[in-house]
Amino acid sequence: MNLQAKFSLYNAITKIAVILVLGLIILLSIEKISYHHLDNRLTKKRLKVIANLNDNEIDNLLRAQHTFTDYNILKDEFIVLTAIPKTKQLDPSISFTTERREIEGDIEIYRILNDQFEYNNKRYKLELGETMTAMDAVKNTIRFYMLVVLVIALLVTLITDYAFTQFILRPFYKIIDQKLNKVNDPIAYDYENIPTTTTDFKFLDNSINALMRKISSLFSLEKQFIANVSHELLTPISILSGRLENILTAENLPIEHENKILASLKTLNRLKVIINSLLLISKVENEQYLKKDQVAIQHELSDLYEDLEDRIIDKKLTYTNNVKEDFVFTGNQALIHTLLINIINNAIKYNVVNGTINISDELSDNAYILKVEDTGIGMEKENIANAFNRFEREENNEKEDSFGLGLAIVNSIAKFHQLTIDIKSEKHKGTMVTIHFPL
């Protein structure tokens, strides 16, 4: 999960929590405020009723048992007056209850004020009721609109928060994209700062620039070292090889000395091959090659067969080229040639006498796939993962011309061209190398 998504998720969770808490508080407050308002209205009506009572009105309420006032035909309010005996002390407190009452055949929920008072030395119980239907309708309407307002407020704040985080993080993503993802050559690095007003992003930008300056300096030193190695090591080796070859031309050279000189020449040649291989890997990894050639894979395989035909015949191998697609790849032709020749060379080197080598291809939706399959000695499963490491060789491999650098070179060239190499192998059954060329 990226930083922007985390910010948005955090804002969403906190806002939902705040809105839920506020909504709960508002709902509870509406309930309490409604009851409080209704109770206050009933209390004021009680004072008016008691202040305006007289003997005739009391007699009418008691004898005629009128439960509704004259002005309310909708049964929203009622007054009940009941005479009570003086059996105990008068309760001066006013209480409120919520009950269902049947008034003239209709059942409604009322908020009822209960009171006791004395009038002309007689005690009465007064009940003032007001229906809660209207109040419930108002409460439900308020709740609905409050819910709509809260949801809209939540959506608006989430959208604005997401847009704001995207705006505020835009310089950060520019720094990552331009200063890290798109940098292939440290020497060609752009040190211009990304415009931003955020102090943290400025610090990040300056830190990356400082780091890239160090890397660029080390990169230049490495290139210089490679050039020095190429000159300082290969030149003495060539001189030694020439001198030893001149000694071999002497007519009176003892046979035992000749054998030692031949062994020394072989060792020098091995050293020269190792140095050239390491130099090639280093140059490829430092991207010192151009990728502007149109490489026809089928044509390259034909050229490779001409170079390796003698070795294939010497080992009595059956070589089959089943490549059908005329695939053309943009890259460095010399490096692709080296990649293919190393893979096929391994298929020859580690194959058995009278074995087979089969090359095939297929075209998928997003890649061109080339397969090189042999019936050689294969590899153990635990060794496949390390096959691309430098100087990594199969145990008990007695081949003197194997330095463990062939697949390391293949891996470097593949990464340089954004190719994918996959190896499937089984001991004593063979190996299949699959190359994925992106379309």
pLDDT values of the chain reduced to their tens digit, one per residue, 439 residues = 666 677 777 777 887 888 778 777 877 777 788 788 888 888 888 888 877 777 676 666 665 554 444 334 556 777 888 888 877 778 788 888 888 887 667 778 888 899 888 888 888 888 888 888 767 777 777 778 777 887 888 788 878 878 888 888 888 888 888 887 777 667 777 888 888 888 888 888 889 888 888 888 887 777 777 767 766 777 788 888 888 888 888 878 888 888 888 888 888 887 887 777 777 877 787 777 888 889 999 999 988 888 888 889 999 999 999 999 999 989 999 899 999 999 999 899 889 999 999 999 999 888 999 999 999 988 888 788 778 877 666 554 545 456 678 888 898 899 889 999 999 998 888 999 999 999 8
Residue 117 lies in domain: 3-137
According to DSSP, the β-strands at 95-103 and 106-119 are: antiparallel
Q: Could you give the count of Cα atoms lying within 13 Å of 334 in the half-sphere of its Cβ?
A: 5
Query: Is residue 103 assigned to a domain?
Result: yes
Query: Is residue 19 assigned to a domain?
Result: yes
Query: Which amino acid belongs to residue 361?
Result: D
Q: For residue 313, with 0-12 CB atoms within 10 Å meaning exposed, 13-18 middle and 19 or more buried, which class applies?
A: exposed
Q: Which phi and psi angles does 327 have, rounded to 5°? A: -85, 135
Segment 307-315 long-range contacts (CB within 8 Å, at least 24 positions apart): 307/341, 308/341, 308/344, 308/345, 308/348, 311/348, 312/348, 312/357, 315/348, 315/351, 315/353, 315/355
Q: Tell me the pLDDT of the chain averaged across its residues.
A: 81
Query: Is residue 194 assigned to a domain?
Result: no
Query: Is residue 368 assigned to a domain?
Result: yes
Residue 303 shares a structural domain with residue 431: yes
Residue 89 shares a structural domain with residue 125: yes
Residue 261 shares a structural domain with residue 353: no
Residue 298 shares a structural domain with residue 433: yes
Residue 229 shares a structural domain with residue 299: no
Q: Could you give the count of Cα atoms lying within 13 Å of 375 in the half-sphere of its Cβ?
A: 13
pTM here is: 0.54
Answer with the one of 285, 311, 343 that is the final residue of a domain.
285
pLDDT of residue 67: 44
Residue 25 shares a structural domain with residue 114: yes
Residue 40 shares a structural domain with residue 112: yes
Residue 335 sits in a domain of what CATH number? 3.30.565.10
Residue 258 shares a structural domain with residue 308: no
pLDDT of residue 179: 81
pLDDT of residue 180: 79
The domain total for the chain is 3
Residue 276 shares a structural domain with residue 331: no
Residue 331 shares a structural domain with residue 376: yes
Query: Is residue 399 assigned to a domain?
Result: yes
pLDDT of residue 63: 59
pLDDT of residue 317: 92
Q: Which two tokens stand for residue 12?
A: 């969403």
Answer with the one of 222, 255, 285 that is the final residue of a domain.
285
Residue 279 shares a structural domain with residue 362: no
Query: Is residue 162 assigned to a domain?
Result: no
Answer with the one of 285, 313, 335 that is the final residue of a domain.
285
pLDDT of residue 403: 65
Query: Is residue 160 assigned to a domain?
Result: no
Query: Is residue 71 assigned to a domain?
Result: yes
Residue 273 shares a structural domain with residue 393: no
Query: What CA–CA distance (Å, rounded) separates 298 from 370?
Result: 10
